[in-house]
């Protein structure tokens, strides 16, 4: 998967590759842009190009092969959400004393480290930055350049100050990427020490065109739905499980039934009963919760007269009828209750019961 596979933002990609060609890459780069624009994908591509053993050239500029041992190992972190979930789960299984001292990091190649925000606060913590400081001054082990990717550069204060020290004295052979959808939240002293590149959002129409090429087997209305649900994220769109989404959405609509005046709860109980314990039930419940959020948000768009923002456009008439049934305060309360269900899931409350009480509490 070379640079030519990156969609959109051709100028920014070209700038990065020209800097690679000059072999004088900046020590720190802020790559900003909305969620789904490809910030992480692009920084991974640069990490591969820096360390590729074959160093191919395309259009006169550095590229990467995608199949040498460095490219392959770096690419193992391309599925960042999965690697992140594995790291979090590994920490959950530690003894309490070790748990407190373990920070979430993703490393599939010795010279490329990804620093995601650390849950539950979802902020970068000082211990994560200390880990970076501890190793960044050593020469690369197997590659030519050490790469540090802060996949969501949202720092706790102490962590930001620690990072500043590295940026004041960066080593020759390391590059730090700060990925952010809100770069103005970074300390001015950090911003002034970084080169800043911006990625423009990918529009829903562009995602649809991309899906027409990569997912020709999908129906056009499915491609339109996925493009909107994925909010411009190409990677997510391509691997989207439409059938699972539609099933979750059907369940979500059943859960909203009591709030819409359905008095017979037998359909509701039949649906919630399928949300069981265990890992499979967890993934299914998470998808249901995400889908419920998107339906509630669509109802909010419809109520506020911004129907062009509705994501589940294929069922817009049904959503409009539902929106007419409720007021803003109800939607706010529903979102809040959904947040409680979500945190209850983390404490392993019985899923079917939590969903039942969510649905019946919204009854009016």
Cβ closest to Zn ion, residue 51 vs residue 128: 51
Asked if 80 touches Zn ion (CB under 5 A), the answer is: no
d(CA 255, CA 354): 11
- Please choose, out of 12-20, 68-76, 241-249, 319-327, the segment that lies near Zn ion by the rule CB under 5 A: 68-76
Q: Kindly report whether the peptide bond that precedes residue 120 is cis, defined as omega within 30 degrees of 0.
A: yes
Classify burial at 316, counting beta carbons within 10 Å of its beta carbon; exposed 0-12, middle 13-18, buried 19 or more.
middle
Give the nearest distance from C-beta 175 to Zn ion in angstroms: 17
| Both tokens assigned to 280 | 């499979």
DSSP strands (E only) in 187-312: 195-198
Strands 28-32 and 57-58: unpaired
Cβ closest to Zn ion, residue 54 vs residue 324: 54
Asked if 65 touches Zn ion (CB under 5 A), the answer is: yes
Give the nearest distance from C-beta 20 to Zn ion in angstroms: 13
- Please choose, out of 69-77, 193-201, 212-220, 308-316, the segment that lies near Zn ion by the rule CB under 5 A: 69-77
- Please choose, out of 8-16, 61-69, 82-90, 226-234, the segment that lies near Zn ion by the rule CB under 5 A: 61-69
d(CA 245, CA 276): 18
Are 363 and 258 spatial neighbours (Cβ–Cβ below 8 Å)?
yes
Helix axes 242-255, 351-361, angle to 10 degrees: 50
- Please choose, out of 59-67, 94-102, 204-212, 270-278, the segment that lies near Zn ion by the rule CB under 5 A: 59-67
Asked if 355 touches Zn ion (CB under 5 A), the answer is: no
Asked if 68 touches Zn ion (CB under 5 A), the answer is: yes
Cβ closest to Zn ion, residue 47 vs residue 153: 47
Cβ closest to Zn ion, residue 110 vs residue 344: 110
Asked if 224 touches Zn ion (CB under 5 A), the answer is: no
Give the nearest distance from C-beta 68 to Zn ion in angstroms: 3
In sequence order, what are the beta bridge partners of 124? 155
d(CA 119, CA 106): 14
Segment 29-58, which members bind Zn ion (CB under 5 A)? 52, 54
d(CA 87, CA 306): 39
Cβ closest to Zn ion, residue 72 vs residue 80: 72
Are 201 and 33 spatial neighbours (Cβ–Cβ below 8 Å)?
yes
Give the nearest distance from C-beta 26 to Zn ion in angstroms: 22
d(CA 102, CA 216): 44
Candidates 29, 71, 124, 186; binder of Zn ion (CB under 5 A) is 71
Asked if 247 touches Zn ion (CB under 5 A), the answer is: no
Binding residues for Zn ion (CB under 5 A): 52, 54, 64-65, 68, 71
């Amino acid at each position: 998967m070379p640079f030519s596979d990156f969609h959109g933002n051709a100028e920014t990609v070209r700038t990065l590759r020209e800097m690679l060609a000059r072999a004088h890459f900046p020590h720190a780069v802020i790559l900003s842009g909305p969620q789904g624009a490809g910030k992480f994908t692009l920084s991974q591509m640069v990490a591969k190009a820096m360390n590729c053993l074959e160093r191919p050239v395309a259009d006169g500029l550095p590229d990467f092969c995608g199949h040498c041992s460095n490219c392959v190992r770096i690419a193992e972190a391309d599925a960042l959400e999965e690697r992140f979930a594995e790291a979090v789960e590994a920490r959950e299984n530690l003894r309490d004393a070790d748990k407190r001292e373990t920070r979430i990091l993703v490393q599939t190649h010795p010279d490329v480290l990804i620093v995601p925000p650390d849950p539950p606060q979802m902020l970068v913590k000082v211990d994560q930055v200390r880990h970076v400081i501890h190793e960044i001054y050593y020469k690369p082990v197997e590659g030519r350049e050490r790469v540090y990717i802060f996949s969501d550069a949202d720092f706790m204060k102490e962590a930001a100050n620690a990072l500043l020290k590295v940026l004041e004295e960066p080593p020759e052979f390391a590059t730090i990427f700060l990925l952010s959808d809100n770069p103005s939240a970074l300390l001015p002293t950090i911003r002034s020490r970084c080169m800043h590149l911006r990625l423009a959002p990918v529009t829903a129409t562009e995602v649809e065109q991309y899906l027409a090429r990569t997912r020709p087997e999908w129906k056009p209305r499915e491609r339109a739905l996925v493009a909107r649900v994925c909010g411009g994220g190409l990677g997510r769109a391509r691997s989207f499980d439409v059938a699972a989404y539609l099933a979750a959405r059907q369940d979500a609509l059943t859960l909203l039934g009591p709030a819409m005046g359905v008095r017979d709860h037998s359909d509701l109980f039949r649906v919630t009963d399928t949300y069981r314990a265990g890992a499979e039930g967890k993934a299914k419940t998470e998808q249901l919760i995400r889908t419920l959020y998107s339906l509630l948000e669509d109802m909010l768009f419809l109520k506020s007269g911004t129907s062009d923002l509705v994501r589940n456009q294929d069922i817009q008439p049904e959503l409009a009828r539902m929106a007419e049934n409720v007021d803003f305060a109800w939607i706010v309360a529903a979102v809040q209750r959904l947040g409680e269900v979500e945190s209850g899931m983390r404490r392993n409350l019985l899923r079917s019961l939590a969903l039942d009480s969510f649905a019946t509490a919204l009854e009016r």
